[in-house]
């Protein structure tokens, strides 16, 4: 199976040229895949039947994936889908909606870039799975198209994409960048670059590569600790100077792009949530153009607990009093295991059931 959604517009031009079709057929194909989110090549009605048949005979698919299971949060604002890739691999993607009075809700799609993850963060459900394989750009884009079609049926649209699902995006660098370029190309999905955020646990060399791409995407770095010893405990793949290395990489990213970097800090009860560590983090970040996103850890198989609300607010207060820009993340989808750190394809050994789009 080859996904049309994984082609850059220039490659669609080449495809239609090879098929001896006029150039406007390329734009029709891109429109059908990225804007109309058609389910099947046979449904690309703008194209002649013979051309559609040729696409099918060559093994092309539009880019939508079979849905194994879809669950919706109690408030209806978070939707998690388990999707099956062409080789049977399962990945999870999440839609998070934030109502805005008088307008369509902000609709953020959280995509996976790998099946499983090799980074091994001790409090992350995906990290506990181990690594299976990298996803292709087409498989990443397909997750966005899945929810774009879901929203299109409700008269809404995708407003943001965050690379914060299963896997480490910068460990699958080439396909992550390719997916970003497809999603932001005006002839393809057409999302603004500033509406995309890439999250990394800290692949420093790839952060520098990303800074040189000429993109305006946001960068979020999962820090989780203000010192090297504690960070290595929480992120086993971290190097001996990872905290300092990441601070320096964040500064270089800001200098190259003008985009302020967000440091994500998962607060774990009794592990990294003390007032002393908050003060240490404040000292570390003072004077830097950064933002801290505090994330009370979500329940996973790792057995780590969430701090009491009072403790979370105290950690935030210490940072704010020190002049550090910070927020406590608005939680979405915790009860359906769709929140940060919870994505894990536990359904892999269960009966597979195709589910239609949730109304």
Q: Which residues are catalytic?
A: 92, 340
Q: How far apart are CA 318 and CA 336, in angstroms?
A: 32
Q: How far apart are CA 189 and CA 113, in angstroms?
A: 18
Q: How far apart are CA 196 and CA 356, in angstroms?
A: 27
Backbone angles phi, psi at 299, to 5 degrees: -65, 130
Q: How far apart are CA 267 and CA 296, in angstroms?
A: 5
Q: Sign of torsion, CA 180 181 185 189? A: negative
- Which three-class secondary structure string do you get for the chain? CEEHHHCCHHHHHHHHHHCCCCCHHHHHHHHHHHHCCCCCHHHCCCCCHHHHHHHHHCCEECCCCCEEEEEECCCCCEEEEEEECCCCCEEEEEEEEEEECCEEEEEEEECCCEEECCCCCCCCHHHHHCEEEECCHHHHHHHHHHHHHHHHCCCCCCCEEEECCCCCHHHHHHHHHHHHHHHHCCCCCCCCHHHEEEEECCCHHHHHHHHCCCCCCEEEEECCCCCHHHHHHHCCCCCCCHHHHHHHHHHHHHHHHCCCEEEEEEECCCCCCCHHHHHHHHHHHCCCCEEEEEEECCCCCCCCCCCCHHHHHHHHHHHHHCCCCEEECCCCCHHHCCCCCCCCCHHHHCCCCCCCCCC
| Rg value, the chain, Cα | 21
């Amino acid at each position: 199976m080859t996904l049309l959604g994984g082609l850059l517009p220039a490659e669609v031009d080449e495809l239609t040229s090879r098929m001896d079709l006029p150039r406007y057929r390329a734009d029709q194909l891109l429109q059908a895949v990225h804007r109309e989110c058609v389910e099947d090549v046979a449904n690309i009605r703008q194209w002649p039947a013979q051309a559609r048949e040729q696409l099918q005979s060559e093994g092309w698919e539009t880019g939508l994936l079979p849905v194994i299971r879809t669950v919706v949060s109690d408030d209806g604002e978070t939707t998690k889908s388990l999707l099956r890739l062409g080789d049977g691999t399962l990945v999870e993607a999440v839609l998070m909606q934030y109502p805005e009075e008088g307008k369509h809700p902000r609709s953020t799609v959280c995509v996976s870039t790998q099946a499983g993850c090799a980074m091994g963060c001790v409090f992350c459900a995906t990290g506990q799975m181990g690594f299976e394989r990298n996803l292709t750009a087409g498989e990443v884009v397909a997750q966005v198209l899945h929810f774009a079609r879901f929203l299109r049926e409700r008269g809404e649209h995708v407003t943001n994409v965050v690379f914060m699902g299963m896997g480490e995006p910068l460990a699958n660098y080439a396909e992550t960048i390719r997916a970003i370029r497809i999603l932001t190309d005006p002839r393809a999905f057409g999302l603004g670059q500033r509406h995309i955020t890439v999250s990394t646990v800290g692949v420093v060399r790839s952060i520098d590569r990303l800074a040189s791409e000429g993109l305006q995407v946001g960068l979020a770095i999962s820090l989780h600790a203000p010192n090297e010893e504690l960070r290595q405990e929480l992120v086993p793949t971290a190097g001996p100077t990872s905290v300092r290395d990441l601070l320096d990489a964040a500064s270089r990213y800001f200098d190259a792009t003008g985009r302020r970097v967000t440091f994500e800090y998962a607060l774990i009860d009794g592990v990294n949530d003390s007032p002393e560590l908050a003060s240490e983090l404040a000292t570390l970040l003072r004077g830097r153009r950064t933002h801290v996103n505090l994330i009370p850890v979500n329940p996973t198989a790792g057995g780590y607990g969430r701090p009491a609300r009072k403790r979370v607010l105290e950690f935030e207060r210490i940072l704010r009093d020190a002049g550090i820009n910070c927020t406590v993340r608005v939680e979405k989808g915790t009860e359906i295991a769709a929140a940060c750190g919870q994505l894990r394809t536990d359904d892999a050994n269960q009966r597979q059931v195709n589910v239609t789009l949730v109304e």
